[in-house]
Structure 1
């Protein structure tokens, strides 16, 4: 492999399926040298098939965001092979369903490890190279990084943390030439929900006094995913906007629904509007 590249180089995490896969294909179609990473390269068949169907080339590599040695090796490998790193798209993440009484503190720590500290691991390792390139640091968060949602306490806490960190970092990063953005999808028709790995009927049965509220939440959420979910390709269009715009916004929602939902929170000084919406989800 060449030790240098004239094309801009982007590294994307969590590309085995869903948003990450679609973003990898879209960035390659836009002319970026795309390093598509995933924790288990044995799960790369769908990624390879999508790239072949799109007629693009991807550089598929292993990267586990919670393993600092893996992160360092991946970033060092990109620099060794291409001599540059112009953008990072933090997409890898894990869902979690639970609530305070029924979750262990260890459960919450695990969610934070993937969704927050995993983002920090890669961002920190890549940042000197992004600074040298005047590059982009993009993180796929969620509307759950703006609006807290029932039975998603741990997940939303991690996404809130990412948004707070990146919002705080953005002006500092801009002072050294790096643009920081977060992309906020709503419901997306991906394997993400299935990847939580839960037996929902068993979860409801074991929820004790929270069973009626959890049952109501699950029914509402399943309907939302069936009726209003975006495709990964639609979300990838917004990710590509953050990657290629001359002056990308800090916060980008991926749909009108996501803009309306997050807008409720961002204009809600006392919290009553948000709780008025989310309380109905568990009634």
Structure 2
């Protein structure tokens, strides 16, 4: 057992999650780096060794869509470390397609990982975070604020995450738990590569949507050419972990701030939070 602060991060086999695990360990946190398949742990373990923080990172198996897996992982963490001070909800999966040509099972699968996984993790950790007066940090997306073509299911899940967290934040604050959402834009990571999209096949099957899909794919390729690195996108997560009072909503770049401002007149979420906090105090 340890008195050092402990953070559990989901989806750490690559990308933002891996970078956040290394960043939190560098910041002095005992870091529980979780992933569904621990056979993919080599990346985070190698990065931890190179950063000189291998002694602060522990890899554990966790599937955010499996309540038994969540419970087993949390039981181990609390038994071994005696506390949990923060959760970083990072695990997620993209789903590209428009609704007429997507199955309901595909839409439900996107919601299961990107929304219900976040809900299940947050629900499970709250008793521990109340005890430590900790915080929940959730990686959302600019797609949780601005709906994007051919991302209906993904954006719907991220919009749901934002509504869930915005509603939870004032209630959690009454028991000492801070809630923050992180909104990255394009990030150069395996998240995109792992989609395994067969673009010619997609276009061939798109029927009347083919011209729009082709334009979307071209625009997306261009945007990822100027993407943030995972480490750049993860830096605000570490800031939120260590800040005395992190903002509710944090974008990871000026581009992301400008983009969400097309929808939001309250970019950091403070106006809504100031309002709704008065409803529970």
TM-score (norm 2): 0.93
Residue 218 of structure 1 is matched in structure 2 by 217
CA distance in 1, matches of 2:199, 2:120: 32
CA distance in 2, matches of 1:82, 1:61: 13
Alignment of 1:116-195 (within 5 A): 116-195=115-194
CA distance in 2, matches of 1:13, 1:220: 30
CA distance in 1, matches of 2:218, 2:200: 11
Please state if 1:255 is matched with 2:248: no
CA distance in 2, matches of 1:8, 1:200: 45
Please state if 1:265 is matched with 2:255: no
1:26 pairs with one of 3, 23, 26: 23
Gaps of 5+ in 2: 267-281
Runs of 4+ in 1 over 6 A off after TM superposition: none
Task: Give 1:6 shift.
Answer: 1.2
Task: Give 1:262 shift.
Answer: 0.3
Residue 107 of structure 1 is matched in structure 2 by 106
CA distance in 1, matches of 2:187, 2:15: 8
Task: Give 1:13 shift.
Answer: 0.4
Task: Give 1:44 shift.
Answer: 0.7
Task: Give 1:106 shift.
Answer: 1.1
What do the CA deviations read for 1:51-70 (whole angstroms, capped 9, x no partner)? 00000021000000001100
CA distance in 2, matches of 1:69, 1:97: 29
RMSD of Structure 2 on Structure 1 (CA): 0.9
Task: Give 1:236 shift.
Answer: 1.2
TM-score (norm 1): 0.92
Residue 274 of structure 2 is matched in structure 1 by none
What do the CA deviations read for 1:47-98 (whole angstroms, capped 9, x no partner)? 1110000000210000000011000101111001011000000000000101
Please state if 1:85 is matched with 2:84: yes
CA distance in 2, matches of 1:88, 1:129: 10
CA distance in 2, matches of 1:136, 1:26: 17
Task: Give 1:100 shift.
Answer: 1.3
1:15 pairs with one of 2, 12, 16: 12
Please state if 1:44 is matched with 2:41: yes
Between the two proteins, the alignment pairs up a number of residues equal to 264
What do the CA deviations read for 1:106-162 (whole angstroms, capped 9, x no partner)? 110000000000111111111100011000100001000000000000000000000
